[in-house]
Structure 1
Amino acid sequence: MNDGQDADAFAGWLRLREPADAAARAADLLEPVRRRLAGTRPVVVHDLGAGTGSMGRWLAPRLPGPQHWILYDRDPGLLARARSAMVDTAADGAPVTVQTRQADLTRLTAADLADASLVTASALLDMLTADELGRIVAACAGRAALLTLSVVGRVELTPADPLDAEVAAAFDDHQRRTVDGRTLLGPDAVDACVAAFARHGVGVDVRPSPWRLGPDRADLAAAWFTGWLGAAREQRPELTGPTTAYARRRFADAAAGRLDVLVDHRDLLVGCR
């Protein structure tokens, strides 16, 4: 597979998960955000790891007043997609404008975010190392931040299967793997982030934001399961044989509308108390 195909596949995954992300985000955190931003004109939002722009499409129409979004990602192709698909109207009809910045998020500084009214991110924290997270937290300290959809290592499949727990444990180990010298936080990211902000004297409100994938999201459940099991097998190759029949059962359950999946996440609201 070439890089273009990789990017297209990842963009397709982001597109498939976007409705589930929108349904999962903790809507009760929006009111404190609105209060914090009241009177700010325009609101300047720095969206870290924007991907194809799903956070902007979700949040901008839920906030009043003129907004300017700055979308960060390493991938210029994803940024181009995000820019072209961004909404242009706020909750009260005010204009929403957008620009993109190709950047390494782990090297951002407070100066890069100096004009931010709000910093946002989605499904990002668990992909960072402790040092990288610390740098991002330091850059964000003193600003409001809404950091959504970080995995916490809790997955439930219904109906249950004896192999579920073993696969889940292997997947969590994969999330914490070391890649090119980087040891990822995976499901430990939320606790690490709260602790890092606390060291800066900043409080964090934490809310559950689980994916709930039933028959109405069978395509996403099947795609998620494929990646989940694949990562577990990569971490523990000895699982490949024992999980062959398991995979067949799960795909049959999904195709028949019998499979329900809960993938737990947490949303963090920073600096809005």
Structure 2
Amino acid sequence: MGGFSPEWLALREPVDHAARNPQVLAAVGAHFAAKASLTVVDLGCGTGSNLRGTYAALPARQHWTLVDLDAGLLAATRERLVDWADEAREQGEELVLLKGDHTITVDTRQADLNKDLEWVLGWQPDLVTAAALFDLTSKRWIERFVAALTSQRLPLYTVLTYDGRESWKPPHVADARILSAFKHHQHGDKGFGPAAGPEATDVMAEAFRKSGFAVSIGDSAWRIDERHGELARMLTRGIADAVLETGQVDPATISDWLVARTQSASALVGHCDLWARPV
């Protein structure tokens, strides 16, 4: 899995943070409220957006291990976190960040979540997190992942898993065909086998419930408007390229749709947040 540039991740971060489901995040915070400190492993960390979106709900002392396959993104993560923090210093290979009344120690690790999953989860954090990850993984991988978590009774908080809902305004005659072809593309292999795509949250929730975990799911749809012009342009260009690869929509229709989307006033792109914990 790869191909996510720091530029794209920076564009989506404010929209991601605004979209997070506040009730789900509050439930995660309440679960750990009595703890003085917390250890977290964040999977597929990108440039650390999930840490920046989650830390304020968690105890004042935190240790995050940020995991990604892309060494370039891990380097960008450290730079981005230093810029974001009120104060930052190096402590060996770790970063120590001060942000408001929180002290956050950060370690970055390069790992392949196909080959190294059980090793990573073997660090036994208090909490496992991820953002915009599981729709890229396969049903088989998700079931393996859930089995590894439940065997160690590790809770999971994951945000912004794509769920297949899209609504663009003004509408276009090709919207339904474009979305159908895009969903087909989302089921392609993204490095973990045939991707679960928009069904990922349902697959994960079912696996957790069968294992006796409590599961909460909340809406975290992107709401894009005129403030997000560059994000919308990159998003629709990516959708168009994906649809073209499927061969299910003719290029002229895709081109016409893409031109129309440059004039879109607003859009909703569906995502879900999930909080699973042992009971």
Task: Tell me how far 1:242 sits from its aligned partner.
Answer: 2.1
Match of 2:148 among 111, 136, 139: 139
Task: Tell me how far 1:40 sits from its aligned partner.
Answer: 2.5
Structure 1-normalised TM-score? 0.89
The answer to whether the 8 A contact 2:156-2:276 is kept is yes
1:94 aligns with 2:102: yes
User: Per-residue CA shift, 1:15-43, capped at 9, x if unaligned?
Assistant: 11000000001111222212221233420
CA RMSD of aligned residues (A): 2.1
> Residue type of the partner of 1:103?
A
Which segment is superposed worse, 75-84 or 233-242?
233-242
1:105 partner SS: coil
2:49 & 2:74 partners in 1: Cα distance? 11
The answer to whether the 8 A contact 2:138-2:192 is kept is no
1:52 partner SS: coil
> Residue type of the partner of 2:243?
A
1:265 aligns with 2:271: yes
In proportion to residue count, which structure has more strand? 2
Aligned residue number for residue 94 of structure 2: none
> Residue type of the partner of 2:270?
D
Q: How many residues align?
A: 261
Aligned residue number for residue 126 of structure 1: 135
Match of 2:27 among 16, 28, 32: 32
1:184 & 1:98 partners in 2: Cα distance? 30
Task: Tell me how far 1:182 sits from its aligned partner.
Answer: 1.7
Aligned residue number for residue 3 of structure 1: none
> Residue type of the partner of 2:129?
T
2:67 & 2:36 partners in 1: Cα distance? 22
Task: Tell me how far 1:272 sits from its aligned partner.
Answer: 7.1
1:30 & 1:181 partners in 2: Cα distance? 28
Which segment is superposed worse, 106-115 or 138-147?
106-115
Equivalent pairs: percent with the same residue? 33
1:241 partner SS: helix
Structure 2-normalised TM-score? 0.87
Task: Tell me how far 1:181 sits from its aligned partner.
Answer: 8.2
Task: Tell me how far 1:244 sits from its aligned partner.
Answer: 2.0
Task: Tell me how far 1:186 sits from its aligned partner.
Answer: 0.5
**Residues 191 and 262 of structure 1, relative CA distance in 2, 3 Å threshold:** same
1:155 & 1:248 partners in 2: Cα distance? 17
1:104 aligns with 2:112: yes
1:198 partner SS: helix
> Residue type of the partner of 1:236?
G
Task: Tell me how far 1:113 sits from its aligned partner.
Answer: 4.1
2:40 partner SS: strand
The answer to whether the 8 A contact 2:38-2:59 is kept is no
